[in-house]
Structure 1
Amino acid sequence: MEKLNVAVVGATGAVGREMVSILEERDFPFADLKLLATERSAGTVINCKGEEYVVEVTTPESFEDVDIALFSAGGTASKKLAPEAVKRGAIVIDNSSAFRMDGEVPLVVPEVNPADISKHNGIIANPNCSTIQMVAALKPIYDQVGIKRIVVSTYQAVSGTGKDAMDELQEQTRAILAGDEVKAEVYPKQITFNALPHIDVFFDDGYTKEELKMVNETKKIMGDEEIKITATAVRIPVLIGHAESVNIETNAQLTVEEAKKALDNFSGVRVVDNPTELVYPVQLDTEETDDVLVGRIRKDDTIENGLNLWVVANNLRKGAALNTIQIAEKLI
């Protein structure tokens, strides 16, 4: 592959650091690597491929001579700086929600809708982490028999909020075990030994922004506005790895064995499902694999063509950084 100049925006954040790590792991062919962040993080030194890179303050001029800019700095920064990068000739792959539902911006999971990459006008959006793993698990089933309805409940790790949330979980745990006062600053309630049915802001209809992201993004990625989707998103006291209970109603019958075969043959997905031997995917498993893991696959007898699945993936990697870099690999 041709060597390109790459910039990582938000390089000192949890996802940004994963991006840098994955660029090294996958030997991404960059000629020059520019690491960008806010003034607060400027001067931080990050190693990649044996070289030390000093993090710089992000400005519009930072994108001069950059071919691909990987953004993980939040929606506000993306809206302000992504057009500046495009203006200077870079292609932006953005991990925020800023452009996901823009009709001119493709929303891509490379295993699911790679052809959409070519439709970009300078910006390609990376989907929400919980959406990525769900559509990866559902795409092989969708291709075989179609999907009429999806009911999903998520069990999401605190790393989806960022490093401060990971620190808060660990600090609260230490405080509880020591008998000290517990402080909740990142989340509105204590997260340790708790589950919060609240991710992102609430809308007037009672749903959260995270739940609506899953609904709208899934329809866009699958290219099917007719799928009925309802979601409940829950934050749980796990550091890394999102899990999802997914119930689907298909357009035609698909047996459990047929579903397992379709999933196992799909790139980036692995079936981990032998309950009699206590084999099923858990969030800790995702620290050692980039696959989307699917287990507890079983028939739902309450509807004509129903299936239940348990879907687990690493939210920092496949749910964010890895998917972004896979898009870049497809792009070049």
Structure 2
Amino acid sequence: MGYSVAVVGATGNVGREMLAILAERGFPADEVVALASRRSMGVEVSYGDKTLKVKALENFDFTGTDICLMSAGGTVSKEWSPRIGAQGCVVIDNSSTWRTDPDVPLIVPEVNADAVAGFTKKNIIANPNCSTAQLVVALKPLHDAFTIKRVVVATYQSVSGAGKDAMDELFSQTRAVFTASEMETKKFPKRIAFNLIPQIDVFMEDGSTKEEWKMMVETKKILDPKIKLTATCVRVPVFVSHSEAVNVEFEQPVTADEARALLARAPGCLVIDKHEPGGYITPVEATGEDATYISRIREDSTVDNGLSFWCVSDNLRKGAALNSVQIAELLVNRKLISPKKQAA
């Protein structure tokens, strides 16, 4: 008998992607339920070749549900995840609410799968920030081999990371440029069409944004608390897929060829690195794919044991929905949970 799975926030970008990936990967579910707020009741969403009608989260009983994929935002998760967990359902949460909680494991399966066993404290598992997820997939094999001291990363993050309204804003502003129409700016602090915005999330006291702070604390929690990391996070006029320019300083010497060979064998990584025009991956090519693509691997002569590279990944998939489903697969494959209906 298979598992019972609920997707909360099923009408959003990530929620719809979660449903698609559950079907794509053949997750062993006998029942999949789409949940959202009351105003979305009755909305139809796709699950493979099936159509599901959205039910209201407020009225749903989770006592017979095994896994809840939560993608309804931090406010909803803060209220509902503990309540759902208390009913014996494991919550895999995509918001930032639980990532720094010491009793909640923060998981990227290719990086720290063993930490998932800690979910029993609260029945909640956190999914990392989208920009962190792809970064640590690339850093993990390098850290294991050469020990990372410091990371400097600049992100180029697509508007889908800010939700459907942000994607609509990029579309409408782009159209306004070509039609000389009035341009509205609602979702972002400045125009995003044909522009870059060096701010994601709110500013903190030290001048960093919260997105930059998240990358630092989450990388430490997932990979190694000794790693020093500084980030500059930039929103770019791209619909889907985040890109990152990464500079790493190691304790041990490393060559570009060694790094390239190591990353080519690493789970979740795909190296596309030819020293020719177009011999690298861009966001358009990564969209709809599962891998973290790595290109432009080269030695940095300005620091001892330095390396630079470019990485790109679909933020709606590896940065959110795919990683959540992979965590659910981890629970099943390691026999950390059993279907309640079978147990009954």
TM-score (norm 2): 0.94
Q: What are the superposed Cα offsets for residues 24-79 of structure 1, whole Å, 9 maximum, x if unpaired? A: 10111111111110122111012323332110111264323110000000011001
Unaligned runs of 5+ in 1: none
Unaligned runs of 5+ in 2: 333-344
Partner residue in 2 for 1:135: 136
Q: Distance in 2 between matches of 1:22 and 1:293?
A: 19
Segments of 4+ in structure 1 off by > 4 A? none
Deviation at 1:164, TM superposition (A): 0.4
Partner residue in 2 for 1:216: 217
Code of the aligned partner of 1:23: L
| 1:101 matched to 2:108 | no
| 1:24 matched to 2:23 | yes
| Contact 1:300–1:307 (8 Å) recurs in 2 | yes
Query: Secondary structure, in 3 states, of the residue corresponding to 2:178?
Result: helix
| Contact 1:59–1:81 (8 Å) recurs in 2 | no
Query: Secondary structure, in 3 states, of the residue corresponding to 1:7?
Result: strand
Partner residue in 1 for 2:196: 195
Out of 42-51 and 289-298, give the one that drifted further: 42-51
Partner residue in 2 for 1:178: 179
Code of the aligned partner of 2:160: S
| Contact 1:210–1:233 (8 Å) recurs in 2 | yes
Partner residue in 1 for 2:78: 79
Q: What are the superposed Cα offsets for residues 267-309 of structure 1, whole Å, 9 maximum, x if unpaired? A: 1101110022530110011124211000111010001100001
Deviation at 1:118, TM superposition (A): 1.1
Code of the aligned partner of 1:149: R
Out of 52-61 and 17-26, give the one that drifted further: 52-61
Code of the aligned partner of 1:50: D
Query: Secondary structure, in 3 states, of the residue corresponding to 2:109?
Result: coil
Give aligned-pair identity as a percent.
50
Q: Distance in 1 between matches of 2:132 and 2:222?
A: 9
Q: What are the superposed Cα offsets for residues 98-156 of structure 1, whole Å, 9 maximum, x if unpaired? A: 10000000000000000011111211000000000000001010000100000000000
Q: What are the superposed Cα offsets for residues 176-200 of structure 1, whole Å, 9 maximum, x if unpaired? A: 1001111101111100010000000
Correspondence 1:175-324 to 2 at 5 A: 175-222=176-223, 224-324=224-324
Query: Secondary structure, in 3 states, of the residue corresponding to 2:325?
Result: helix
Query: Secondary structure, in 3 states, of the residue corresponding to 2:102?
Result: coil
Q: What are the superposed Cα offsets for residues 81-106 of structure 1, whole Å, 9 maximum, x if unpaired? A: 01111111100000000100000000
TM-score (norm 1): 0.98
Query: Secondary structure, in 3 states, of the residue corresponding to 1:216?
Result: helix
Q: Distance in 2 between matches of 1:252 and 1:94?
A: 36
User: What count of residue pairs does the alignment treat as equivalent?
Assistant: 330
Partner residue in 1 for 2:335: none
| Contact 1:7–1:33 (8 Å) recurs in 2 | yes
